[in-house]
Amino acid sequence: MRILIIEDDADTADYLAKGLRESGHLVQLAANGKEGLFLALEEDFETMVVDRMLPGLDGLALIRSLRAAGKKTPALILSALGEVDDRVEGLRAGGDDYLVKPFAFAELLARLDALLRRSDSEITAQTALKVGDLEMDLLTRVVRRAGRQIDLQPREFRLLEYLLRHSGQVVTRTMLLENVWDYNFDPQTNVIDVHISRLRSKIDKDFNRPLLHTVRGAGYVIRAEA
Amino acid sequence: MQKPRLFHSSTFRLAVLYMALFSTSVLLLLGFIYWSTAGYMVRQTDATIEAEVVGLAERYDRTGLPGLTALISERMAREPGSPILYLLADRNFQPLLGNLDHWPKGNEPKTGWLSFRLEDDRHPAGKGHPARARLFNLEGGFLLLVGRDVNELEKIQQLIASTLVWGLAITVVLALLGGTMISRRFLRRIESINDTCRDIIYGDLSRRIPVRSADDDFDQLAGNLNNMLDQIEALMAGVRQVSDNIAHDLRTPLARLRNRLEALREQVTEEGPRELLDQAAAEADGLLATFKALLRIGQIESGSRRAGFTEIDLAALLQDVTELYEPLADEKGQHIELELAASEPIRGDRDLLFQAFANLLDNAIKYTPENGRIRIELTGTQVSVADNGPGIPEEARDKVFQRFYRLEQCRTTPGNGLGLSLVAAVSNLHNARIRLEDNEPGVRVILNFSEQNG
């Protein structure tokens, strides 16, 4: 898939481009805001990574202009500031996700994947989610694996729902905190891991093939094949 | 926002001072008016009596007693209703002639002025008109009293006095009103300076004190304060720039280092080097986390996040934190009790409050032994998190909020000594009071948000 990176710091830009190319994406670089806006308007990218502080035209103004021109390319904003109000400001300007530097590459990759999928899945309103023999009915809120009903706490249900909506994709711990718990904060301990292991004991324990996998150094993924 | 109480306000004090000065001036003025009107009338009366006495005395000198009595009789006959009083008496105060029945009781001096009450048939005892008279000793032992019924005079004096008292009362009221108005006018400008200062204290550094075009002392004060604020803002922007630079210049290469270690680990197949690389990556992670926490505390302390405060339901927030940490406590066999007595909404930053309570709960879980009990209580706007762990010695209770401070017995547990510093920073940001108590055993951390809006 084609990704546009608008980043003035050459080191960061190279690092991103290299990593994304290794993951099989096509990458185009822009070193300043004007060039970035021009590229984003002229060509079709599936997603874009925009640094917030850019020479010429800053990241937020760029996204605002892009949205005003009717371009809906999902944008992930990179920022060195990391304040919550900045985050809100970034999302209000038309950004789709917000990541504070420095970040682990796996975090960025997971978020970009989520952005791409979101643009697909938002179109169809789903009533059921399915991975392998695990089924979730969003209307009756019943979860079954191999026909057997599984009782989940409300938060476990939301956790599983988020994982299923991003099935096959890596989701990071911070993504889970932001989307399942709806808080943007820094846990000192891996509290999320404990919630995952609880969920795992309910959906995977009595079955031969596990669905919920840990991705070392990144996060978790739910998928049918091992 | 704290408004000064009436009696402590400068408005009140200035108004009272103004009133006191003004009233004293008016009191002096009115005293003078009284002296020159009512006093004048008394002096006129005295002068008339004096002249009469002198006239009568001269007559006596020239014509003796018969001439004097004739003159007195003539005077009395000419004006029967006259307020002038005459009395001629012998040395034993026995009246010989006059329009007074008897010598005024209790007044037996030989000479000079005297005041008394007229008590006769027309004026019953106790209700007699006041009178004023001059005594004169005639040669031959006779006493001559010439006086005047001063009833009318006293009435007029009283009228003048009461008018002046009312005048004074009106003056006091007017002075108080005027004083209040004038001091309000001045103090309103001080209040506007105070309001701006409060906004700035609450983190809105862009606020400036309004300057009028009058260019008076207040405008100069406002101008000076504004210049000072400009300078402070510039300095703070500089500091922020430096910390952003630290973030950029140190954290970014650190993150790159970490990612390269990760990449290298993927290429190494031998178990020994892999483990070393894992450890190196973990060290880098720890450093990054410490940097992040330090910068975060700095950002919180700058107060700029107050601008984004919203209404917070503490009960819901505490339920969420508890729910997030419950499985962690379960793993250690600990029990978290959550008691939400009464909840009042506060204004705050949802994410930061969550972070603060999460840090407290995380500490409680970390330091409480297996099967420990953790209790979270909410009453009104006070939150307490208590555990029955080893506790914090009294002498260390102030220090635990300092950055990088760690208790001796905790050095082996993972952590960077910034958790409670962050809690304290969040607490300060919300104008909350934080204190540590002995939970016997264990520690109880109490956050009180009640003074937030006071």
- Can you give the three-state secondary structure of chain A, one letter per residue? CEEEEECCCHHHHHHHHHHHHHCCCEEEEECCHHHHHHHHHHCCCCEEEEECCCCCCCHHHHHHHHHHCCCCCCEEEEECCCCHHHHHHHHHCCCCEEEECCCCHHHHHHHHHHHHHHHHHCCCCCCEEEECCEEEECCCCEEEECCEEECCCHHHHHHHHHHHHCCCCCEEHHHHHHHHHCCCCCCCCCHHHHHHHHHHHHHCCCCCCCCEEEECCCEEEECCCC
Contacts of B203 (CB under 8 A, 6+ apart): B302, B303, B304, B305, B306, B307
pLDDT band at B122 (very low <50, low <70, confident <90, very high): low
pLDDT given at position B55: 85
- Out of A62-66, B59-63, B96-100, give the one with best mean pLDDT: A62-66
pLDDT given at position B239: 76
Put simply, whether A194 touches B (Cβ < 8 Å) is yes
Q: Is the pLDDT of residue B309 over 80?
A: yes
Contacts of B174 (CB under 8 A, 6+ apart): none
- Structure token pair of residue B185: 């006018």
Q: CATH 3.40.50.2300 region(s) of chain A?
A: 2-121
Q: Would you say B422 and B356 are in contact if contact means Cβ atoms under 8 Å apart? A: yes
The residue-averaged pLDDT of B94-113 equals 73
Q: How far is CA B451 from CA A104, B432, B433, in A?
A: 41, 7, 8
pLDDT band at B454 (very low <50, low <70, confident <90, very high): very low
The residue-averaged pLDDT of B284-303 equals 80
pLDDT given at position B1: 42
Q: Is the pLDDT of residue A22 over 50?
A: yes
Q: Would you say B316 and B381 are in contact if contact means Cβ atoms under 8 Å apart? A: no
CB nearest to A185's CB, from B307, B351, B419: B351
**B22 HSE (CA, 13 A, CB side):** 20
pLDDT given at position A113: 87
pLDDT given at position B107: 57
C-alpha–C-alpha distance, residues A71 and A5, integer Å? 16
Q: Is the pLDDT of residue B2 over 50?
A: no
User: How does strand A134-137 pair with strand A142-145?
Assistant: antiparallel
CATH 3.30.450 fits domain B8-155 = yes
Put simply, whether A215 touches B (Cβ < 8 Å) is no
Looking at B247-386, list the stretches that DSSP marks H as alpha helix, in order from N- to C-terminal side.
Answer: 252-267, 271-301, 314-331, 350-367
Give me the CATH topology for the region B309-448. Heat Shock Protein 90 (3.30.565)
- Please give the order of strands across the beta sheet that includes B433-438: B335-343, B373-380, B382-387, B443-448, B433-438
CB atoms within 10 A of CB B351: 19
CB nearest to A103's CB, from B255, B299, B308: B255
pLDDT given at position B205: 74
User: How does strand A128-131 pair with strand A134-137?
Assistant: antiparallel
The residue-averaged pLDDT of A59-71 equals 91
Q: Is the pLDDT of residue A149 over 90?
A: yes
CB contact under 8 A, A81 and B244: yes
pLDDT band at B108 (very low <50, low <70, confident <90, very high): low
B217-301 to CATH, choices 3.20.20.140, 3.50.50.60, 1.10.287.130, 1.20.200.10: 1.10.287.130
pLDDT given at position B271: 87
Question: Measured between beta carbons, which residues in chain B are less than 8 angstroms from residue A185?
Answer: 351-352, 354-355, 358
In DSSP terms, B374 is beta-bridged to B336, B387
Query: May I ask the CATH architecture of the domain A2-121?
Result: 3-Layer(aba) Sandwich (3.40)
What is the identity of the amino acid at B453? Answer: N
Rounded to the nearest angstrom, the minimum Cα separation between A29 and chain B is: 19
The residue-averaged pLDDT of B74-97 equals 79
pLDDT given at position B360: 93
CB nearest to A80's CB, from B247, B281, B351: B247
C-alpha–C-alpha distance, residues B325 and A183, integer Å? 14
pLDDT given at position A40: 92
Q: Which residues of B touch A (CB under 8 A)?
A: 244, 247-248, 251-252, 254-256, 258-259, 262, 281, 288-289, 292-293, 295-296, 299, 304-305, 307-308, 320, 323-325, 327-328, 331, 349-352, 354-355, 358-359, 362, 365-366, 415, 419
The pLDDT tens digits for B354-379 are 999 999 999 899 888 888 899 999 99
Q: Is the pLDDT of residue B124 over 90?
A: no
Q: How far is CA A123 from CA A66, A117, A137, B156, B224, in A?
A: 21, 10, 19, 101, 59
The pLDDT tens digits for B173-199 are 888 888 888 888 877 888 888 888 888
Residues counted in chain A? 226
ipTM score above 0.90 = no
Q: Would you say B20 and B119 are in contact if contact means Cβ atoms under 8 Å apart? A: no
In DSSP terms, B437 is beta-bridged to B444
The residue-averaged pLDDT of B276-285 equals 87
Q: Is the pLDDT of residue B160 over 60?
A: yes
Q: What is the percent of chain A with per-residue pLDDT over 70, rounded to a whole number?
A: 94
- Please give the order of strands across the beta sheet that includes A97-100: A26-30, A2-6, A47-51, A75-79, A97-100
Q: What is the chain B residue with the closest CA to A182?
A: B351
Of A115-119, A149-153, A185-189, the poorest mean pLDDT is in A115-119
CB nearest to A191's CB, from B289, B299, B325: B325
Higher pLDDT, residue A205 or B203: A205
CB contact under 8 A, B354 and A80: no
A128-222 to CATH, choices 3.40.50.300, 3.40.50.2300, 1.10.10.10, 3.30.420.40: 1.10.10.10
Q: Is the pLDDT of residue A88 over 60?
A: yes
The residue-averaged pLDDT of B3-27 equals 77
Higher pLDDT, residue B11 or B450: B450
pLDDT given at position A216: 79
Using only C-alpha atoms, what is the Rg of chain B?
47
Domain boundaries of chain B, sorted by first residue: 8-155, 217-301, 309-448
C-alpha–C-alpha distance, residues B273 and B323, integer Å? 40
The residue-averaged pLDDT of A166-193 equals 87
Average pLDDT, chain A: 87
Backbone angles phi, psi at B421, to 5 degrees: -60, -40
